Structure 1
């Protein structure tokens, strides 16, 4: 099996999405000159080129791409060649309207944008396979080709008739019989019992709340259908080029794909990452996505897209301040990226993304953005041979599961203020601000290597996942769970007692009487901290230690934080500082050590292999105590006992 190491060969891949079909050919030579000056060694081509490659059904126009592939090879720039199937040409929708997806109201999503394809459409899959087959056959032996990139940001839902047929087929495979499906979906409620498979539809627009089991299965089905599209094209290119790795790009913390399943089907795991440069916690968002992607890859991964400057899809699109692109790029490398790429190479002059930044901006090579790109390319070359291929696992695992996310997001939940992704982010942020390194893991993964397992919220847990948590504590590990964990099983069936009985015993909960969600203007005070978002009326079991009690109100005197041995339960969400302090205390008790002690706020230290990355996320200079003697690969200078970093400063140290 091939992987990223077969492409990097001791270098960090540096480059971006290149769309030369948008430009006259005389610009191509200028692009190559600027790429070489900036240290670009990899470009992704063909992502949105289907109408150029196949302007009419069955036609093939490869000449322009032949010339580009040769041009890249002549200048030593590798090509990540994309299958263009994320944006079908207009003729496909006109001739085969069944290829166009429908939303839950039955409205067609027309061509004129992108991602306008039905994952269930046989016609779409046939045409996608044909263009992929011819693309792979033509360029399989080309020396510039280094990797395949399938489609782009899979994110399509389809509620149409062809999707309904495939949904029923998927349900037959999952449940086997209608009786089993009716049981899993709880169709005895509201007279929803199904007596024939043909009665079953995707969860289209309904008068009132939809069946949660049906919605949950549809989310699983959609992820699986998109994965089928990916693997079909992957298998075609693998047949032609078994020696080359294949990837597709995830969107960060997106709910539509079960990325644990998807990652197993990829040779290289890659992600697109666009923190808001005005967000004071943008670096933490980046760290979360990077930790998650590295964990899915189980090692080095690829940053497929980031912005060199501004994006174009926020309400107000701010550029990156001087030095921020460099800082966030090195943060990705510190957290396992062996490829740092941008969307896009040259900023478009037309189309929907003409105000999305490029490595070469509208200002040209004299612009600040390109000058910073040149500096970044030179510095990545300095550290590439020292870091690529290395991987440093953490002592802490944060558990994350798409099935649980989907199940907990149903319309009839107790509080729409409880957003799974937000809760996950808050817990990761507390650990990040406490300077504690984290991996992510699926709740059924082997957790034996971790001293501390953290469960911000897993509303639905399989029996196997519960057994895994129990085994982790039984084998000497520490566990801390947040509220609304273990409430339901894999079919979104509420467990007797409102929480899995084995978890209640493990966590020291005798009875869970009531859930008490909090409004925006409410808080849950305790004798140790302020609680937010949620609270619970729970009764401690014998032998459980009450670490914090609610004060005042209906829950006065009841447990807010429980501990039974090495298992902790938080029935509310502590305010940020309190959560950080509490998790740091629990981690210390579990034997987890920080990479560097005594770091100032806003400074991040990450160890990768033999290197220590120190990053200043602030706009003011800082001095960091670093006992011992180190060598900074970026400056070539010695660092002894202390390190001074300027605004958005970066040091890459070897001891």
Structure 2
């Protein structure tokens, strides 16, 4: 959430690049922005080459004109620092700024994400540019936020990074003996004698390509992921500090990318004033997966609203099939973002460029150059609605009694694991459980291992492969105090450095779960075992844990193979609470039923009951503050749906202004949304 006394409603706008166009077009853009009720633009995202044409020359003349123009036209600004792509002269003069790829090849100038995060050149000039921008525009009262760089990502394996990695390891582990221990370097005679012996893990050393990137030493590769994420975070933080020095009251962010594996966003969020992110689902992305991305972003700041920094108003140019958003879908996905915590709706881009790789990426203003397009009409309609209702929803939050634990170290480490199955997929496992909450209309937060568990009645931690130091103690206290905990196969195996916890799986979780996993059977793709739950047979896929009860109760047992009859679902009473274990992966029908049962046992209600068969296309979410509650009903189906409102008080649709009594029937047209407001 952009906290500013200048922001009175949900902001509406997006990336604007007037420097790519003749100045006589700018005023026409302003006219069309007014037609669309646009009130904010993100400026200066990729202007480093324009702003610093030579090492000792800065030229802000065009940006000055742009800033004066948007201020004159009453537009607020999310001001970017332009440091996502360095200028050509810098690469020519200082080649240390260029990244080295995983295969060891040094890049040349081109593309973006092309700056080494540990290059002294990049760090010097990126921070200097950010400071000059902040000092120059600090008196512009229409700047409501700063946007550092753009979509940080990628990785580098150059000499600068290798040296910085050694320093990072020295600070983390202290001695070479400790480093040898945590990386288990006695294996294959890899003992290191000095930190100078450390090399970056890529295709020249420990990593290799098979069906994906694999590694001989998981501890080394895991630490390099952590290091690379920290390196880019350090670049962000340096720019953050100089921006704050000149404009301490303006909030600073950078745009994230949902479930983006290379960067530990939970760590990054500590240094962001508010979370912002770019939402680009493919034409076949399940709407529940888009919702999960929003939940992750909202959870990075313990439930605070976030900014939707980018989405496409129509078509994305970079996907395999550049399928149009069907009529109504842009509006519906915008309200989906709001329903899950967005306090802005912003697009890339405002005017469609005429060259390079994004010239066919949709924009508010198309190549036609006028307002008589389907996309513009939809943008203008949404802008009018947000002008009407945007102040009511601003700042409201979601209250959930269920949580899913997500952890980047677990994602990295489980992906690097040398066995037991390449079908193990951390994000997919998270989604299996998230979708079950989603389809039961049960609010759920996505939290980190450092977050407080006490607000929740149920905490689910799928594929908790790495049980970090202290987290088992936190879980034990939570369950003993009456909480319910659910985890899955391949959990509790290793500690923070990916060293196996000996004494039997699931390691430190063994007591709380009341089970011992003796071995695990990897199920080949296309094959499955099976189990019976509530008189229905479900598949057991990917991995089947062969476990023994140590106090837990079996809820279901395998039906096939030599381990037929062994437990597959268990529950263990522990203190005042319960711990559940799912020893395999199954299908969506199972998860939907299983999660519903556990939520009923733990007293977590559904927001709204929906008829059987339409649940995947109906989405229910809620935001609230001290005075009102807003229930979002989104119909992603093509056809209209009739629902019965099981509410306890009259509610008013803030879009249509229709009032509904408890028990009333409501019809939600296809690809449409209803936002019901109940005054507390």
Report how far residue 40 of structure 1 moved: 0.8
2:532 alignment partner, SS class: coil
Spell out, residue by residue over 1:577-597, the C-alpha distance to the aligned partner (whole angstroms, 9 max, x if none): 011100110111111011112
Provide the rounded CA distance (Å) in 2 between the counterparts of 1:73 and 1:524. 64
Select which of 638, 658, 670 maps to 1:637. Answer: 658
Equivalent residue for 1:582? 594
Equivalent residue for 1:536? 545
Please tell me whether the aligned partners of residues 2 and 144 of structure 2 are also in contact (alpha carbons under 8 angstroms): no
Report how far residue 643 of structure 1 moved: 1.4
Equivalent residue for 2:212? none
**Residues 620 and 33 of structure 1: CA distance in aligned 2, closer, same or farther (over 3 Å):** same
User: Which residues in structure 2 correspond to 1:165-314 (within 5 Å)?
Assistant: 165-205=163-203, 206=205, 209-279=215-285, 281=286, 283-298=287-302, 299-314=304-319
Select which of 499, 502, 505 maps to 1:499. Answer: 505
* 1:623 paired to 2:642: yes
Provide the rounded CA distance (Å) in 1 between the counterparts of 2:311 and 2:36. 16
Equivalent residue for 1:547? 555
CA RMSD of aligned residues (A): 1.4
User: Which residues in structure 2 correspond to 1:548-567 (within 5 Å)?
Assistant: 548-565=556-573, 566-567=578-579
202-211 or 579-588, larger mean C-alpha shift:
202-211
Report how far residue 234 of structure 1 moved: 0.4
**Residues 313 and 497 of structure 1: CA distance in aligned 2, closer, same or farther (over 3 Å):** farther
1:5 alignment partner, SS class: coil
Report how far residue 437 of structure 1 moved: 1.0
Provide the rounded CA distance (Å) in 1 between the counterparts of 2:87 and 2:186. 45
Please tell me whether the aligned partners of residues 444 and 468 of structure 1 are also in contact (alpha carbons under 8 angstroms): no
1:526 alignment partner, SS class: strand
Equivalent residue for 1:614? 633
Provide the rounded CA distance (Å) in 2 between the counterparts of 1:575 and 1:212. 30
Equivalent residue for 1:649? 672
Spell out, residue by residue over 1:455-496, the C-alpha distance to the aligned partner (whole angstroms, 9 max, x if none): 111211113111111111111010110111111000101111
Report how far residue 630 of structure 1 moved: 2.0
325-334 or 103-112, larger mean C-alpha shift:
103-112
**Residues 81 and 496 of structure 1: CA distance in aligned 2, closer, same or farther (over 3 Å):** same
Please tell me whether the aligned partners of residues 562 and 570 of structure 1 are also in contact (alpha carbons under 8 angstroms): yes
Please tell me whether the aligned partners of residues 493 and 507 of structure 2 are also in contact (alpha carbons under 8 angstroms): no
Provide the rounded CA distance (Å) in 2 between the counterparts of 1:301 and 1:371. 26
* 1:441 paired to 2:450: no
User: Which residues in structure 2 correspond to 1:24-423 (within 5 Å)?
Assistant: 24-205=22-203, 206=205, 209-279=215-285, 281=286, 283-298=287-302, 299-363=304-368, 364-410=370-416, 412-423=418-429
Provide the rounded CA distance (Å) in 2 between the counterparts of 1:8 and 1:493. 51
Provide the rounded CA distance (Å) in 1 between the counterparts of 2:425 and 2:504. 19
Provide the rounded CA distance (Å) in 2 between the counterparts of 1:643 and 1:332. 22
Provide the rounded CA distance (Å) in 2 between the counterparts of 1:7 and 1:643. 37
Report how far residue 336 of structure 1 moved: 1.0
Provide the rounded CA distance (Å) in 1 between the counterparts of 2:6 and 2:526. 52
1:398 alignment partner, SS class: strand
Provide the rounded CA distance (Å) in 2 between the counterparts of 1:467 and 1:6. 40
590-599 or 641-650, larger mean C-alpha shift:
590-599
Equivalent residue for 1:11? 9
Report how far residue 331 of structure 1 moved: 0.9
Provide the rounded CA distance (Å) in 2 between the counterparts of 1:214 and 1:264. 25
Select which of 511, 520, 526 maps to 1:521. Answer: 526
Provide the rounded CA distance (Å) in 1 between the counterparts of 2:554 and 2:10. 50
Report how far residue 8 of structure 1 moved: 6.1
Unaligned runs of 5+ in 2: 209-214
TM-score, normalised by the number of residues in structure 2 = 0.93
Please tell me whether the aligned partners of residues 117 and 156 of structure 1 are also in contact (alpha carbons under 8 angstroms): no
Report how far residue 278 of structure 1 moved: 3.3
TM-score, normalised by the number of residues in structure 1 = 0.97
53-62 or 188-197, larger mean C-alpha shift:
53-62
Equivalent residue for 2:211? none
1:76 alignment partner, SS class: coil
Report how far residue 500 of structure 1 moved: 4.3
Spell out, residue by residue over 1:360-403, the C-alpha distance to the aligned partner (whole angstroms, 9 max, x if none): 22244211111100011111122211111111221011001011
Provide the rounded CA distance (Å) in 2 between the counterparts of 1:61 and 1:420. 47
Please tell me whether the aligned partners of residues 461 and 488 of structure 2 are also in contact (alpha carbons under 8 angstroms): yes
Provide the rounded CA distance (Å) in 2 between the counterparts of 1:578 and 1:85. 47
Provide the rounded CA distance (Å) in 1 between the counterparts of 2:150 and 2:562. 51
Provide the rounded CA distance (Å) in 2 between the counterparts of 1:215 and 1:8. 45
Provide the rounded CA distance (Å) in 2 between the counterparts of 1:404 and 1:374. 43
Report how far residue 58 of structure 1 moved: 2.2
Report how far residue 440 of structure 1 moved: 1.0
Please tell me whether the aligned partners of residues 620 and 634 of structure 2 are also in contact (alpha carbons under 8 angstroms): yes
Provide the rounded CA distance (Å) in 1 between the counterparts of 2:91 and 2:417. 33
Provide the rounded CA distance (Å) in 1 between the counterparts of 2:498 and 2:147. 35
Spell out, residue by residue over 1:132-152, the C-alpha distance to the aligned partner (whole angstroms, 9 max, x if none): 111111101112222100001
Report how far residue 498 of structure 1 moved: 4.4
Aligned residues: 649
383-392 or 620-629, larger mean C-alpha shift:
620-629
